[in-house]
Chain A
Amino acid sequence: MTEPLLRVEGLRKHFVLKKGFPKPRTIRVRAVEDISFSIEPGQAFGLVGESGCGKSTAARALLRLIEPDAGRVLFRGEDVLTAKGQALKALRRRIQIVFQDPYSSLDPRQSIGSALTEPMRVHGIATGAEARRRAAALMEEVGLPPSALDRLPHEFSGGQRQRIGIARALTVEPELIIADEPVSALDVSVQAQVLLLLRELRQRRGLSFLFVSHDLSVVRWFCDRVAVMYLGRIVEEGPAARVLANPLHPYAQVLRDASPIPDPSRRTALPRILGEIPSAANPPPGCPFHPRCIHAMPICSQQMPAWTPAPGEKAGGVACHLVG
């Protein structure tokens, strides 16, 4: 068994905020409660769930863009959470992030060329004419003309900006790319263009991905493995094809059934939501999904289900009292 590229153990992040007037109340939002997973070299790992389930917080916390409260993150055996100074800088070179919103993730007053050469200079990879030559090559690799280097972000469309964001992540030759909803802000045809580009880069450069998305179809197309999150916890993890086609956890089943399939002959009644949707500020006791679950049993509201391996699978599993 080789060392995984990234191993996350018991990652936790709570946000404490004060809300209300005139008497503020302290609210603890349990964005990420306890998540563990690992990514093998060359793998594309999907993290799916609905807004507020903590998937973006998890992605940022493991890069320490948000400092997590607890847990361990090991990148090729090196501890990311305790790394300091040069060691942290070196780790960040090897893990890069592509953001969701291509409009706010580029500095409007920085030329594309400067945005691409800056990380190379910071990490001591290349400077001056050499950096510019590399930037031009990267632009071609993501399908943009090198002449775009002298232009500013507002001159580009959303899809082009997302390509620039990808090129920027590639400037430091990372091994792992964290892609936080990289195609959700894009139009259908542009979404397909960017997905094809990401897959091509993955094959050509042997990149690994942590792919955060709410779109199950996109994750099925791009990822090898997938983890489904609900209220700050992973409820099921396994091979993307199996988890998304035949999920074991009732929440993953709801997600699958609610995703409409583009085939009018397979029209079904879409599932309705039972009860109220709980928030991460006040998660229910026991299994977080039990108030919305059609299979809920008495034990579900009392005891957190244990992590059980899925039948016939070596890795991954499911957290549900129905299984195991």
Chain B
Amino acid sequence: MATPVRGCRIPQRNTGGNCGQAVDEPSGSAAMTTTAALELIGLRTEFRIGGAWYPAVRDLSLRLERNETLALVGESGCGKSVTALSVMGLVQPPFGRVAAGSILLDGMELAGASEKALETIRGDRMAMIFQEPMTSLNPVMTVGDQVAESLMIHRGLSRGEALERARALFEEVKIPSPAARLREYPHQFSGGMRQRVMIAMALACEPAVLLADEPTTALDVTIQAQVLGLLADLRERHGMAVLFITHNLGVVAQIADRVAVMYAGEIVEQGPVDVIFADPRHPYTRALFAAIPRLDQAEQELSAIGGRVPPLDQMPEGCRFAPRCPLAQAGCELPQPLVALAATHAARCHVTTAAVMHA
């Protein structure tokens, strides 16, 4: 393996002959890796500011297996949504571009694929729940037709059949009086309801890969619990892989198998969910944990992270978190590699991984 990042994968747990394979097996054997549901290799997505291109995501590699939920966490402006939009082929010139890297959906290259090719995949094998429910629906089309559309295009259902399926989906996401509401327009729905329409839309064709960008942030906790349950059902039924973007660490603890923490366009730490929660290594991950009030703790010291994510055109050299980091010291201005701490756990910080690096 060329980069330490690609070594960070967990063995497939569902089926297959090569379960429990050692991660650093010498290369050469063709059967070494199964094809991931989604794999990103060295993704770099750039946006144009004042005539120059700046990376919002740089050198990002991750693997998402079948029947796996990977949580992508971090503050706003860390490149989480841009990563998902890049996968969907929705970052397009003249404002942005996928400048380098591979996006492999079940082994098929999507970076540079034609719009026509992408159209056959989007909404079918790969779907996305967008973050803004207020602006992501078509205002002049009934919500029922919007959900039915992808079923008619990708599954060849008649309008009647597709609407019946849409009604069942509305029931599953707990939209009250679903049959009547199918004929309504987005402006007649509240934010939380529109979010549920969007979830129904993304799940309509039972995609193999779901990119969920803050899907439950606008929802009440009881509805959030319902939606998370629904995603778990779909995963159980046909091994759906989910890239779950969120900043709610409670949700992460509930549903994720693995966690990747992003900061300023880079993955700063990734690993299995229990390791990340029990033994976070990157100072940013630790700071995130210290900033959330917890329902299960009586007296809690809350500590905020000072400052904010640096803007794209003012990225510091070396470690991008250093200006806000309590552990910043000499050496932080150098480029930081993602260092493997264990077979499945890696962090991008020379201070907290020093022991591993010198070993």
Chains A and B form a bound pair: yes
Residue ranges of A at the interface with B (Cβ–Cβ < 8 Å): 50-51, 157, 187-193, 195-196, 214, 216-218, 220-222, 241, 244-245, 254-267, 269-273, 276-277, 279
Q: Quick check: A196 and B251 within 8 Å, CB to CB? A: no
Residues of A within 8 A of B253 (CB): 260-264, 266-267
Residues of B within 8 A of A244 (CB): 295
Interchain residue pairs with CB less than 8 A apart (9): A193-B304, A193-B306, A195-B304, A260-B224, A263-B296, A270-B228, A270-B254, A272-B229, A273-B222
Given A254-B222, A265-B274, 8 more A-B residue pairs with CB atoms under 8 Å apart are: A51-B192, A188-B247, A195-B293, A222-B293, A258-B221, A259-B295, A276-B177, A277-B174
B75 contacts the other chain (Cβ, under 8 Å)? Answer: yes
Residues of A within 8 A of B288 (CB): 188-189
Given A263-B253, A267-B253, A270-B228; A255-B222 close (CB under 8 Å)? yes
Q: Determine which of B75, B192, B293, B308 lies in contact with A220 in the assembled complex, contact meaning CB atoms within 8 Å.
A: B293
Q: Quick check: A217 and B294 within 8 Å, CB to CB? A: yes
Interchain nearest-CB distance for A153 vs B (Å): 17
Q: Determine which of A189, A264, A269 lies in contact with B291 in the assembled complex, contact meaning CB atoms within 8 Å.
A: A189
Q: Quick check: B289 and A262 within 8 Å, CB to CB? A: yes
Closest to A195 in B: B302
B138 contacts the other chain (Cβ, under 8 Å)? Answer: no
Q: Quick check: B254 and A267 within 8 Å, CB to CB? A: yes
1/0 contact string of B249-262 vs chain A (CB within 8 Å): 11111101000000
Q: Quick check: A260 and B304 within 8 Å, CB to CB? A: no
Q: How large is the interface on B (under 10, 10 to 19, 20 to 34, 35 or more residues)?
A: 35 or more
Instruction: Tell me, in angstroms, the Cα distance from A277 to B248 when the chains sit together.
Output: 24
Interchain nearest-CB distance for B82 vs A (Å): 16
1/0 contact string of B219-257 vs chain A (CB within 8 Å): 011111110110000000000000000011111111010
Given A192-B305, A218-B293, A220-B295; A262-B252 close (CB under 8 Å)? yes
Residues of A within 8 A of B291 (CB): 188-189, 191-192
Interchain nearest-CB distance for B252 vs A (Å): 7
B76 contacts the other chain (Cβ, under 8 Å)? Answer: yes
B41 contacts the other chain (Cβ, under 8 Å)? Answer: no
Q: Quick check: B277 and A189 within 8 Å, CB to CB? A: no
Q: Quick check: A261 and B294 within 8 Å, CB to CB? A: yes
Instruction: Tell me, in angstroms, the Cα distance from A264 to B278 when the chains sit together.
Output: 9
Q: Determine which of A187, A190, A195, A262 lies in contact with B250 in the assembled complex, contact meaning CB atoms within 8 Å.
A: A262
B298 contacts the other chain (Cβ, under 8 Å)? Answer: yes
Q: Quick check: A273 and B305 within 8 Å, CB to CB? A: no
Given A187-B247, A270-B254, A273-B226; A192-B303 close (CB under 8 Å)? yes
Closest to A157 in B: B308
Closest to A50 in B: B220
Residues of A within 8 A of B20 (CB): none
Q: Which of B177, B252, B253 has the most CB of A within 10 A?
A: B253
Residues of B within 8 A of A193 (CB): 304, 306
Quick one: which of B148-196 are within 8 Å of A by CB?
174, 176-177, 190, 192
Residues of A within 8 A of B92 (CB): none
Q: Quick check: A260 and B75 within 8 Å, CB to CB? A: no
Q: Quick check: A261 and B225 within 8 Å, CB to CB? A: no
Closest to A222 in B: B293
Residues of B within 8 A of A216 (CB): 221, 295
Interchain nearest-CB distance for B214 vs A (Å): 11
Residues of A within 8 A of B273 (CB): 264
Instruction: Tell me, in angstroms, the Cα distance from A269 to B232 when the chains sit together.
Output: 10
Q: Quick check: B292 and A262 within 8 Å, CB to CB? A: yes
Q: Quick check: A273 and B174 within 8 Å, CB to CB? A: yes
Closest to A277 in B: B176
Instruction: Tell me, in angstroms, the Cα distance from A220 to B250 when the chains sit together.
Output: 15
Instruction: Tell me, in angstroms, the Cα distance from A276 to B223 when the chains sit together.
Output: 11
Q: Determine which of B192, B223, B289, B300 lies in contact with A273 in the assembled complex, contact meaning CB atoms within 8 Å.
A: B223
Closest to A49 in B: B220
Q: Which of B221, B253, B308 has the most CB of A within 10 A?
A: B221
Instruction: Tell me, in angstroms, the Cα distance from A99 to B293 when the chains sit together.
Output: 21
Instruction: Tell me, in angstroms, the Cα distance from A221 to B304 when the chains sit together.
Output: 14
Residues of B within 8 A of A241 (CB): 298
Q: Which of B190, B295, B304 has the most CB of A within 10 A?
A: B295
Interchain nearest-CB distance for A158 vs B (Å): 9
Quick one: which of B80-134 are within 8 Å of A by CB?
none
B287 contacts the other chain (Cβ, under 8 Å)? Answer: yes
Q: Which of A188, A195, A265, A276 has the most CB of B within 10 A?
A: A188
Interchain nearest-CB distance for B347 vs A (Å): 18
Q: Quick check: B250 and A261 within 8 Å, CB to CB? A: yes
Interchain nearest-CB distance for B324 vs A (Å): 9
Instruction: Tell me, in angstroms, the Cα distance from A264 to B298 when the chains sit together.
Output: 19
Closest to B247 in A: A188
Q: Quick check: B304 and A189 within 8 Å, CB to CB? A: yes
Q: Quick check: B248 and A217 within 8 Å, CB to CB? A: no
Closest to A244 in B: B295
Instruction: Tell me, in angstroms, the Cα distance from A263 to B308 when the chains sit together.
Output: 26
